[in-house]
Structure 1
Amino acid sequence: MATLSEIQKWLDDRLATLLAEYQVPGAAVAVSWRGEVIDAAAGVLSKATGVEATADSLFQVGSITKVWTTTLVMQLVDEGLVDLDAPVRDYVPGFVIDDEAAAAAITVRQLLCHTSGFEGDIFTDTGNGDDCVEKYVAQLAGVTQLYPPGEMFSYNNAAFSVLGRLVELVRGKPYATCLREYVFTPLGLTHVANDANEAILHRAAVGHIRPEPDADPVPAPVWSLMRSMAPAGAMLAMRPRDLLAFAQLHLDGGKAPDGTAVVGSGSVKAMQDRQVELPPLGMMGNAWGLGWEIFDWQGSTVIGHDGGTIGQGAFLRVVPEHGLSVALLTNGGTMIGLYQQVVGHVLRELIGLELPSLPTPPADRAPLDDVTRYVGTYSCDVAEITVSQADDGRVWLDHTPKGEIAELGGKPDPVELVRLDGDTLITLEPQQGFHQPQAFIGDDGSGRALYLHSGRAMRRAQS
């Protein structure tokens, strides 16, 4: 097995080359093991300015923020101020969605593990004031309930803004203030920012997007998503070393380096307990805990989370049994490919754990003879997906973004689907270095799939 110093040398020697291979403008990585932390960086923070990335540069961590929000909620559980199995309305009286019965029944736990069942990709900008999360929750009144609360997993960004509002109401303070006061400060974090105003005080990365699928990444037109989605991961930024300090909190039973109890050991364990199993979705975990993704890799349990914002991608993996954590923060390009190379190398060389291969189309593909169950249109607030069969028998998925997501980039080209296994199809060609599985689940009463699941459950549109 390798030593940390050997991993440091490998990163120093190889990271820049890997960035060029995967067209990633800049990246920073940190590894924590056996009480020691190493870090490295390469590339640039923006192709427009050419400012070099350093290990102290801030990158957005995206949806990894959800684990931080969960930690804030679990602190309230520790203090007896919140019951995970109580309706969220006990704490957020203004929580209203289109389905009144569901709104009254959805629990805090269901929000934390993505089983609440309402449409979750609601990206509404409600301004930059301290009341933006409050206003965001108020505008959820017309949001559709996709399935009964607790029935299954469907990744839900909006749920975490609701949880952010819960924290605000119980603490009587804005979400960003709570994050700084109850997590940043007790952990002694120095290179972390709640938003662009704080990030500009540091060396901060800019996201890069591809204007067309095959184009080179270029700087994104805006730095972050809207502040109303901050509890879900819209703008939190930090250096990898500070992200690993947070991960270490969850390896050390909720205690800061100086012994301060930041969150209870029971809550740390509860966050890592399996709450819901997932269909095979490639990059996502096998199950979800409270906030954490849970991966089953070669007999080892790995926890973590990924994050994606406007042209930035973040990856966090923690192996509790080995006390190992690794964070990779990037600002564009084929980020998943870089993740496989960097995180895969670290896990393999330090603890002999192989990163599972991502799903790929089988070499011997069974023909898709009867696709009646799959074809049709599936819709949500941010996209519409149409699955159709051409005259030659090939099956295609056409993805049409909606709203603000559509404004940030062009419409992707249709992609061909082939069978992966059972009712799960997979894209024949990779997008951003990844073949995305598409699981068709449920029944609309006529034998057709009710949902198309690729992490989010998109419901079949009524015809």
Structure 2
Amino acid sequence: MSRLNEINDWLQRNLPELVARNGVPGAAAAVLVGDEVAEAAAGVLNKNTGVETTTDSLFQIGSITKVWTTTLAMQLVDEGLVDLDAPVRTYLPEFRIADEQAAGQITVRQLMNHTSGFEGDLFTDTGRGDDCVEKYVATLHDTPQLFAPGEMFSYNNAGYTVLGRVVEAVRGKAYDDCLREHLFAPLGLTRAAADAYEAIMFRAATGHLTPDPEQGPQVAPVWSLVRSNAPAGSMLAMSPHDLLLFARMHLNGGLTADGTKVLSPESVTAMQRKQVDVPKLALMGDAWGLGWELFHYPQAKVIGHDGGTIGQNAFLRLVPEHGVAIALLTNGGNTIELYREVFEHVLRELTGVELPAMPQPAQAEERLDGNRFVGTYTSAVGDRVVTQDDDGRIWMEVVPKGILAEITPERAGKTELHPWDGDTLVAAEPTLGIFLPHAFVGDDGQGRAQFLHTGRADRRVAQ
């Protein structure tokens, strides 16, 4: 029996039980080894309708879309139409943020590797028309700059919408049309949808949220985030198999199975090359390339990306030196634990890669110096208020704002932070089974952290 057949048998036997144990309404998985694919599905696409999940079902891939947007932009690099190190204003003269100097300096590369430095979690709805991305970019004129361009990593959804607008402006067509013509078509995708109007033509999953743990996941009130954020990951949906056709192209030097060239080998390599380090956060890679998240494990280098929309979560990992890719698409529940259980087994069996253990809180041997941590750290989607009590315990209260207050109310509340790794503390109570890490980085000259980093760098409010 081949390695892939063994994985296929394992998925068929175990995925239904893993989905049920983790309270995930439905999930579909696919594994690629060379040119062969194994697939499995379990659960339901919608708890209200009871429609069964199948391997050809469509799920939203969320921020994995960012790798697709980067690929579209790198095609323009291949054609000599875009220079990675040219200012964004070379292609979007109208690009404005609050910091005029930064607006003129930010490069296309910095959009791709999340080092542009401006506030990133902005989900402004500018309508459903083909001009919604263009209109969205115009709303950024008063967006604050968190740090100088290129200084550090901070995950940036808005930056990727700007990158999508660069693609639109150079191609002279809407982002969705760029996806269809320059990726869907050459890749031969048959189970992919650029928006909800296309997704409805297929067997599509809906998201589930868990505002009350006792009731479990419930159908989300809306299907997707706003179209204006499409280049960052608000709309794109597909089957795991079609997602792996995209992954296979990146494993095969930019070529499809029939030899069609989608991307140059040089651009494929450039996307996988480290651009910037990422604070130690456990759930994320240790570095970022162009679009790709990078994981430098002792056994092999892994590239990938995760995605989350309204009640849907997606996971993609590639191990280039082994020609292996894994996709898992889900629609609610304890998706992180499901991801861990599936990927730990598949990666170990096919590549020898061992996923590192997740963070566990530890009691401090001595009282922590609260001066380093205490303060209010703010962003457009929430405030994190860190305090220290009389017993020396560190606490963090999360106050979601904007759209996240509506779609993730379970993230609000107060939790204790315990030591984990240097200036990275972890929550004492798990969220969906994970003790979330919080890295305090930078120095304001008084020994206090400048940023609370959870993938996004939230700046300390001046006191």
TM-score, L = length of structure 1 = 0.98
1:427-452: per-residue Cα shift (whole Å, max 9, x none)?
11210121111111112232211100
1:414 offset after TM fit, Å?
1.1
Aligned partner of 2:259 in structure 1 is 259
CA distance in 2, matches of 1:367, 1:205: 49
Q: How does 1:9-408 map to 2 (within 5 A)?
A: 9-212=9-212, 215-362=215-362, 365-408=364-407
Gap change, CA 1:86 and 1:213, over 3 Å in 2? farther
* 1:33–1:79 CA distance, 2 compared to 1 (3 A): same
**SS in structure 1 at match of 2:212:** coil
Conserved 8 A contact 2:168-2:175: yes
Shifted more, 307-316 versus 418-427: the winner is: 418-427
For residues 308-334 of structure 1, what are the alpha-carbon distances to aligned partners after superposition, in whole Å with 9 as ceiling and x for unaligned? 000000000000000000000000001
SS at match of 1:245: helix
**Post-superposition offset of 1:290:** 0.2
CA distance in 1, matches of 2:360, 2:199: 38
CA shift for structure 1 position 140: 0.2
Query: Partner letter of residue 322 of structure 2?
Result: H
How far 1:204 moved relative to its partner?
0.3
Measure the CA separation in 2 of the matches of 1:353 and 1:398.
Answer: 36
TM-score w.r.t. length of structure 2: 0.98
**What SS does the corresponding residue of 1:97 show, helix, strand or coil?**
coil
SS at match of 1:357: coil
How many angstroms apart in 1 are the aligned matches of 2:262 and 2:128? 28
The alpha-carbon deviation at position 408 of structure 1 amounts to 2.2
The answer to whether the 8 A contact 1:312-1:330 is kept is: yes
Specify the SS of the correspondent of 1:141.
helix
State how far apart, in whole Å, the 2-side matches of 1:214 and 1:398 are: 23
The SS at the match of 1:244 is helix
1:139 aligned counterpart, secondary structure: helix
Once residues 54 and 370 of structure 1 are traced to their aligned partners in structure 2, the CA distance between those partners, rounded to angstroms, is 52
Quick one: which amino acid aligns to residue 167 of structure 1?
V
- 1:161-206 CA deviation, whole Å, 9 max, x = no partner? 0011000000000000000000000000000001111000000001
| 2:399–2:413 contact (8 Å) kept in structure 1 | no
Letter in 2 for 1:438: H
Matched AA of 1:441? V
By how many angstroms is 1:247 displaced?
A: 0.3
2:262 counterpart SS class: coil
Letter in 2 for 1:369: L
Does 2:3 correspond to 1:3? yes
3-state SS, counterpart of residue 45 of structure 1: strand
Quick check: 174-183 or 394-403, which moved more?
A: 394-403
For 1:36-87, what per-residue CA distance to the aligned partner results, in whole angstroms no more than 9, with x for missing partners? 1010100000111100000000000000000000000000000000000000
Q: Deviations over 1:389-417 (max 9, x none)?
A: 12332211111111122122425221110
- Asked if 1:433 is matched to 2:433, the reply is yes
The Cα offsets for residues 341-371 of structure 1, whole Å up to 9 and x where unpaired, read as: 0111111122222122222223x53333320
Query: What letter matches 2:379 in structure 1?
Result: C
| Residue 214 (structure 1) shift | 5.5
Residue identity matched to 2:99: D
2:228 is paired with a residue of what secondary structure? helix
SS in 2 for 1:400: strand
- Equivalent pair of 1:368/1:418 in contact (CA under 8 Å): no
Aligned-pair identity in percent equals 62
CA-to-aligned-CA distance 1:202-232 (integer Å, 9 cap, x gap): 0000101111356411010000000000000
Separation of aligned partners in 1, 2:213 and 2:150: 37
Match of 2:28, SS? strand
Question: Whole-Å Cα distance in 2 between the matches of residues 112 and 365 of structure 1?
Answer: 38
Are residues 1:460 and 2:460 paired? yes
Separation in 2, partners of 1:88, 1:213: 44
CA distance in 1, matches of 2:444, 2:205: 45
CA distance in 2, matches of 1:368, 1:180: 57
Which letter does structure 2 place at the counterpart of 1:279? P
Whole-angstrom CA distance in 1 between matches of 2:88 and 2:223:
32
Cα RMSD after superposing both structures? 1.2
* Map of 2:423 onto structure 1: 423
Structure 2 unaligned spans of 5+: none
Q: Which amino acid aligns with 1:102?
A: A
1:92 deviates by: 1.0
- The alignment partner of 1:140 has SS state of helix
Contact 1:26–1:44 (CA<8 Å) still a contact in 2? Answer: yes
Q: Is the 8 A contact 1:368 1:419 kept in 2?
A: no
The match for 2:409 is: 410
Task: Report the CA distance between 1:2 and its aligned residue.
Answer: 6.6
Q: Is the 8 A contact 2:299 2:353 kept in 1?
A: no
Partner-residue secondary structure (3-state), 2:142? coil
Secondary structure of 2:397's aligned partner: strand
Which segment drifts farther, 30-39 or 212-221? 212-221
